[in-house]
Structure 1
Amino acid sequence: MQVWVESSGGPLVLVAEKALNEWTGADGDDYDSACTVDDLGVIRFGTGEQGLVLWDEPARTTYFQGLRIFVQWVYADPSCDVEQAVSWLGDVAWEQGPTMDVGGPMVLLDAAAPGGEIQINQVRGAMDGEAISVEIEPGRYRVDSGETRPDERTCFRCYRLVAVS
Structure 2
Amino acid sequence: MVRYAEPETVDWVESGGGPLIAVPETVLSFWAGADGDETASDYDRACEVDGRAGLLPVGDAAALVLGDEPAATAFLPEHRAFVRWYAGDDEGDLLAGVPEALRTAEWGPELSWRVPGPVLLFDAAWPGGACEGTDHVRVPLAPGHYAVRTAHAQPGPETWLGLVQLRPLTD
Using the alignment, how far apart are the partners of 2:84 and 2:159 within structure 1? 12
Using the alignment, how far apart are the partners of 1:56 and 1:30 within structure 2? 17
Q: Find the counterpart in structure 2 of residue 21 from structure 1.
A: 29
User: What is the TM-score when the length of structure 1 is the normalising length?
Assistant: 0.88
| SS of residue in 1 equivalent to 2:104 | coil
Query: How far 1:48 sits from its partner (Å)?
Result: 3.2
| SS of residue in 2 equivalent to 1:118 | helix
Question: What is the RMSD computed on CA atoms of the aligned residues?
Answer: 1.5
2:11 is aligned with 1:3: yes
Match 2:162 to one of 144, 157, 160:
157
Q: Alpha carbons of 1:80 and 1:18: their partners in 2 closer, same or farther (altered >3 Å)?
A: same
Aligned AA (2:20): L
Count residues with an aligned counterpart. Answer: 156
Q: Find the counterpart in structure 1 of residue 5 from structure 2.
A: none
Alignment of 1:43-62 (within 5 A): 43-45=56-58, 47-62=59-74
Using the alignment, how far apart are the partners of 1:61 and 1:155 within structure 2? 13
Query: How far 1:56 sits from its partner (Å)?
Result: 4.1
Using the alignment, how far apart are the partners of 1:44 and 1:87 within structure 2? 31
What is the percent sequence identity of the aligned residues?
38
Query: Does the CA-based 8 Å contact 1:41-1:97 persist in structure 2?
Result: no
Q: Find the counterpart in structure 2 of residue 103 from structure 1.
A: 116
Query: Does the CA-based 8 Å contact 2:50-2:68 persist in structure 1?
Result: yes
Match 2:76 to one of 64, 73, 94:
64
Query: How far 1:72 sits from its partner (Å)?
Result: 0.3
Name whichever structure is richer in strand by fraction: 1
| SS of residue in 1 equivalent to 2:132 | coil
Aligned AA (1:161): L
Query: How far 1:112 sits from its partner (Å)?
Result: 0.3
**Where do 5+ consecutive residues of structure 2 fail to align?**
1-8
2:148 is aligned with 1:136: no
